Amino acid sequence: MNGDNYGLFPEKQNAVELFHELDFKQMISLSKDLRNHFMIEYYSNINKMLRVYYKNIPNYI
């Protein structure tokens, strides 16, 4: 990813940084509830970012 895009997509930087903080092994070691919560937050952030550009995407989360 190009770092220059972060100015247009401030939420993206946070989501990417959060995702990189938890590598795959750490994700597996998390409790099921916590892992599900993280994934819901992660995809919710992606959903919000997409709606910035595509206003007609319904809010599924």
Q: Return d(Cα 22, Cα 15) in angstroms, integer.
A: 11
Q: How many domains does the chain have?
A: 1
Residue 48 lies in a domain: yes
Higher pLDDT among residues 59 and 46, named by residue: 46
pLDDT digits (tens, 9 = 90+) for 1-54: 444 444 444 555 565 666 666 666 666 666 676 767 777 777 777 777 776 666
Residue 17 lies in a domain: no
Residue 60 lies in a domain: yes
What is residue 47's predicted lDDT score, i.e. its pLDDT?
74
Helix, strand, coil distribution of the chain in percent, nearest 5: 75, 0, 25
Residue 21 lies in a domain: no
What is residue 43's predicted lDDT score, i.e. its pLDDT?
77
Residue 37 lies in a domain: yes
What's the distance, CA 17 to chain centroid?
9
Residue 59 belongs to domain spanning: 28-61
What is residue 23's predicted lDDT score, i.e. its pLDDT?
63
Whether 60 shows a pLDDT value over 50: the answer reads yes
Residue 13 lies in a domain: no
For the chain, what is the largest distance between any 2 Cα atoms, rounded to a whole number of angstroms? 37
Residue 45 lies in a domain: yes
